[in-house]
A and B are shown apart, each in its own frame.
Chain A
């Protein structure tokens, strides 16, 4: 039996496979997110009619899931390989199974099942239907047909494949703890670098921060500041759209993407406060509703801005002719 791929070889193989299927290989988004879905490459790109295919690794932070590096199966920050296929090709399931072959899984020797698992993210006003893909009893991928995002019905819809990279690597390398995964192996010396070497400190210290040290009062303040700025930008954009004298160019350059980044900040800070045990029942419902309002407002604004872009392009074409 050939040696199992290292963690980074696994990522490289999957990226190569999806690049060959025509995906743009994006790099991880550089703002804290709870899942690859929240990166604009998914949340915003799935809106509107434009086809798009993209794959990227997304480190995903969930403060409440932190275990100080003690638990062999749980992480504060895990990594997803996210693939968006918009619209999904007819053979999307077969393509997915091909990707498993590409990382060295002989499907003939394993048991694979697609079991119902529908996905819903209330803070993003997003949902879809799909499956958890089970390989010998292990959930290795979340496969979702997105139906709605930011409260907007999608047309076309898209397929979202989310690979749980640590789980797959631990399976392939047959180790019981995530921390024992071989991340890299030096081809010259054969020296191995383990997941523990790369990430343990991060897990331990961020767990301490999330559960013990984060300053509740300041975190609340940060949340409110980011929220205020995001909402203010959305309001400005909406005013701009209502203004008959505003030029299309003005609308097109309006920084909605920045407003979205501010919204992501809010979402992360909310998770942090939640892990810190600082959110009461009544507050919880309220804050979720506020973040949802930002996400819905942004999705709507984004679609409107895209339409401005389409109009502008048409006009320019018309002008040239």
Chain B
């Protein structure tokens, strides 16, 4: 069975898009082959900035023939006096068989003529030529373009060549006005312009000969080796791992190598954060550290060529980095001429959001909100220095007016923290400013200090409140202001610092920060609608945290959050406890029982049956229900005590102890009896049970295997 090769040759694809697109194309080909009875042994993919390649091995040459049973006219119409009518002839002609070969089949609607026909499978080459162009056109790109006149198609960048082969044969497919052939292209500078691919199996080796390492994994290996080798020229030095940067350079090169360059030691007096950002984000260089893990005056650049024999490339890169570092130092020195305190007023010229006003306005709100949060925490005996929080909040956005942040926006906050330290502000203030944007992702740590945590929460809550009030609520893939990420940050910070804060309260306070402002005139969401939208949004964020960060099962999460979601720390503690006891047989059984109780109560309510509240234990008749009624207040008392001190796991074990009593109740006692009074009492007992034991989690949400 032959192999298949597809190479789409393009102008340089953005590094960040290559891997996703390659994976998608891979999946599209696999699906296409499977759907069209052309399943193969394996589809491999390769990708560089200038090509997306698929190699499918062992493809059937043609689709298998298919037998198809055609149903024709009803027998009574097809034959008259035992002779075929024109209807029968027409059907035979359509099926391509002689009338005498027609058979009959009995269906529920009666007897019909039938014919079995063989559909010839199409050659694989034909199927691929017909169907692949549509798959290529359907690849998702975060940003794409037109290039041909008349705008017939979009793609990430212009397609310049296509190779499509079934073993040695060209598959005549066409995309973007390019007809597929055998000719690929080598590395822009090192390789031959044209390189002929003899067969799919030789693709990787042939491209290697044309100075293109087609497989990303091979390029990564090559880059690692090259970085190691270049670093070895400095005794004791090591290059700093950076997974994202490594991915980027893998996707920026076809024939990678690396060089080590140097910079003047004098620049090491600049903060490491600034130096590393310049190297990584602006120049895509790896940082080098010495044996003590301190930044060393070297850098590593990954090249898309085979070396630098004359040292010209190293010299050029050193020159660029020197200019960048000079800029950074110039900005650093210039920025020091105006203190952060003096910069507060300058914030009125910096837009926060077009309808929410300036960062000066935001600063006022955040300072108030942060102070309130600090106060609330202080009452709960957290050792948070309120005046430090207020100072940090007031200065938190001032670095947006500095040259350094204008140049390196990704360092906002960090620069503010560094300047605060340089200007002699107290360490807690500097640290809080430094950490205000943390955590920036689920992997990132929360702010280190309580003051930082409070500032971070207040800043994010203010943004979320304002955007929601404007009606800019994230939906689906639309979240232009990254509000989900910010809310995730709030949740994570609260959990990691174990802050006893009420989310609903914080968001209500954040909303009142906008009271009587210009911004408020533009608000579209207020009152209960705002509260509901915020509640739903944070509930989702909390679900995300419990499921995706803590890895809890979705039913555990649902059960826990059904019992309350405003106190994040408490919800997390309850969820962890539920997850722990969940595997036990008693708990499973209790969950089944709760589901049953809820069903019974729901049905009773729907049927407008009376439910005694409170129920009267003396009115109960059977032994099993009396036992249950006696057990409930006892266990409820100890559950309440344990819960009050946060001991949710023992509390849940207490509840599980109800199992034999509950099981016996359901075995022996019929709830929905004719006697109206007795029924009301029994329903009342169940209602009490559900009410008393649903404060940790709603057990009926637990998914159980047995019914």
- A: which residues have CB within 8 A of B? 71-74, 87-88, 90, 93, 97, 107-116, 118, 128-129, 131, 135-138, 145, 147, 153, 155-157, 171, 174, 176, 277, 279-281, 284-285
Sampled A-B contacts (16; CB under 8 Å): A73-B326, A93-B11, A109-B310, A112-B188, A112-B305, A115-B12, A118-B143, A129-B143, A136-B315, A137-B283, A137-B317, A138-B320, A174-B315, A284-B351, A285-B351, A285-B354
- Chain A residues, CB < 8 A from B544: none
- B313 lies within 8 A of A136 (CB): yes
| Shortest distance between the CB of B3 and any CB in chain A (Å) | 30
B140 at the interface (CB under 8 A from A): no
Q: How far is the CA of A87 from the CA of B310 in the complex (A)?
A: 39
When the two chains form their complex, are residues B349 and A156 in contact, meaning their CB atoms are under 8 A apart?
no
Asked if B348 and A115 sit within 8 Å, CB to CB, the answer is no
A269 to B351, CA, bound (A): 20
Interface 1/0 per residue, B215-243 and A, CB below 8 Å: 00000000000000000000000000000
Identify which of A74, A107, A171, A285 contacts B319 (C-beta below 8 A): A171
Query: A42 CA to B354 CA in the complex, in Å?
Result: 31
Answer yes or no: B428 CB below 8 A from chain A CBs: no
Stretch at the interface among B145-153, B336-344, B472-480, B556-564: B145-153
B49 contacts partner chain A, Cβ-Cβ < 8 Å? yes
Query: From residue A55, how far is it (CB to closest CB) to chain B in Å?
Result: 21
Contacts of B157 in A (CB 8 A): 129, 145
Contact of A137 among B144, B316, B351, B354 (CB under 8 A): B316
Q: Are B146 and A281 within 8 A (Cβ)?
A: no
Contacts of A171 in B (CB 8 A): 316, 319
Contact residues of A: prevailing secondary structure: mixed
Residues of chain A within 8 A of B349, CB atoms compared: 277, 279-281
The answer on a CB contact under 8 Å between B189 and A115 is no
Contacts of B445 in A (CB 8 A): none
Complex CA–CA separation, A129 to B142 (angstroms): 12
A sample of 8 more A-B contacts (CB under 8 A), given A108-B189, A111-B301, is A109-B310, A111-B304, A112-B188, A114-B49, A145-B147, A155-B146, A174-B319, A176-B323
A156–B267 CA distance with the chains assembled, in angstroms: 49
Residue B357 lies at the interface, judged by CB distance under 8 Å to chain A: yes
Partner of A115, one of B15, B320, B358: B15
Chain A residues whose CB sits within 8 angstroms of the CB of B330 once the complex forms:
71
Q: Which of chain A's residues has its CB closest to B351's CB?
A: A281
Asked if B43 is at the interface (CB within 8 A of a chain A CB), the reply is no
Q: How far, in Å, is B254 (CB) from chain A's closest CB?
A: 10
Q: In the complex, which residues of chain B have a beta carbon less than 8 angstroms from the beta carbon of A281?
A: 348-351, 357-358
Question: Measured between alpha carbons, how far is A284 from B351 in the docked complex, in Å?
Answer: 9
Across the A-B interface, give the 8 residue pairs with the lowest CB-CB distance, nearest first. Answer: A136-B316, A116-B14, A114-B12, A137-B317, A156-B149, A111-B303, A137-B320, A281-B358
Q: B148: which A residues are within 8 A, CB to CB?
A: 156
Chain A residues, CB < 8 A from B122 = none
Binary interface encoding of chain B residues 1-30 relative to chain A, with 1 for a CB under 8 A from any of its CBs, else 0: 000000000011011100000000000000
Task: Give the shortest distance, in Å, between A292 (CB) and chain B (any CB).
Answer: 14
Check A88 against B354 for contact (C-beta < 8 Å).
Answer: no
A4 to chain B, nearest CB (A): 13
How distant is the Cα of A128 from the Cα of B320 in the complex, in angstroms?
Answer: 27
In the complex, per-residue mask of B144-185: 1 if CB is within 8 Å of any chain A CB, else 0: 111111110000011010000000000000000000000000
Bound form: Cα–Cα A285–B357 in Å: 11
Complex alpha-carbon distance, A310 and B409, angstroms:
48
One of B283, B301, B327 near A73 (C-beta < 8 A): B327
Residue in chain A with minimal CB distance to B312: A109
Residues of B within 8 A of A135 (CB): 316
Task: Report the contact-size class of chain B (Cβ under 8 Å from the partner).
Answer: 35 or more
Compute how far the CA of A158 lies from the CA of B316 in the bound complex, rounded to whole angstroms: 31
Residues of A within 8 A of B189 (CB): 107-108, 112
Chain B neighbourhood of A111, CB < 8 A: 301, 303-305, 308, 313, 316
Say yes or no: B147 contacts A131, CB within 8 Å.
no
Chain B residues near A279 (CB-CB < 8 A)? 349
Q: How far is the CB of B264 from chain A (nearest CB, A)?
A: 12
Q: How far in angstroms is the closest Cβ of chain A from B34?
A: 34
Rounded to whole angstroms, the CA-CA distance of A73 and B149 in the bound complex is: 40
Q: Which residue of B lies closest to A177 (CB)?
A: B323
B506 within 8 A of A: no
Contacting pair B317 A136 (CB below 8 A): yes
Query: Quick check: B327 and A71 within 8 Å, CB to CB?
Result: yes
**Which of chain A's residues has its CB closest to B283's CB?**
A137
* CA A108 to CA B326, docked complex, whole Å: 29
* B321 lies within 8 A of chain A by Cβ: yes
Q: Give the docked Cα–Cα distance between A155 and B354 (Å).
A: 33
Q: Chain A: which residue is nearest B160 at the CB level?
A: A90
The CA-CA distance from A128 to B285 in the complex, in Å, is: 27
The smallest C-beta distance from B227 to any residue of chain A, in angstroms, reads 15
Do the beta carbons of B11 and A176 come within 8 Å of each other?
no
A174 vs B316: C-alpha distance when bound (angstroms): 8
Question: Smallest CB–CB gap between B389 and chain A, Å?
Answer: 26
Tell whether, in the assembled complex, residue A72 and residue B351 are in contact, meaning their CB atoms are under 8 Å apart.
Answer: no
| In the complex, chain B residues whose CB is within 8 Å of the CB of A174 | 315, 319
Contact B321 A137, beta carbon cutoff 8 Å: yes
**Which residues does chain B contribute within 8 Å of A280, judged by CB atoms?**
348-349, 358
Contact A131 B12 (CB under 8 A): yes
Known: A88-B147, A137-B283, A277-B349. A113 touches B252 (CB 8 A): yes
A110 touches B147 (CB 8 A): no
B322 near A: Cβ within 8 Å? yes
- Min Cβ gap A195→B in Å is 15
- Nearest-CB distance from A73 to chain B (Å)? 5
B190-206 contacts to A (CB < 8 Å): 190
B333: min CB distance to chain A, Å: 11
Contacts of A110 in B (CB 8 A): 305, 312-313, 316
Q: With A137-B283, A281-B350, A284-B351 given, is the CB distance from A176 to B319 under 8 Å?
A: yes
Contact of A114 among B11, B312, B323 (CB under 8 A): B11
Q: How far is the CA of A128 from the CA of B49 in the complex (A)?
A: 19
Q: How far is the CB of A280 from chain B (nearest CB, A)?
A: 6
Q: Find chain A residues with CB under 8 A from B252 CB.
A: 113, 115
Decide if A155 touches B326 in the complex (CB within 8 Å).
no
Complex Cα–Cα for A153 and B149 (A): 12
Closest to B352 in A: A281
Residues 538-574 of B contacting A (Cβ, < 8 Å): none
* A136 B351 Cβ-Cβ under 8 A: no
Chain B nearest Cβ from A82, distance in angstroms = 20
Residues of A within 8 A of B15 (CB): 115-116
A281 to B355, CA, bound (A): 10
Q: Given A108-B189, A155-B151, decide whether A147 and B146 contact each other with a Cβ distance below 8 A.
A: yes
**Contact A157 B305, CB 8 Å, known A112-B189, A280-B348:** no
Q: Is the CB of A116 within 8 A of B358?
A: no
With both chains docked as a complex, state the minimum distance between the C-beta of A282 and any C-beta of chain B, in angstroms: 8
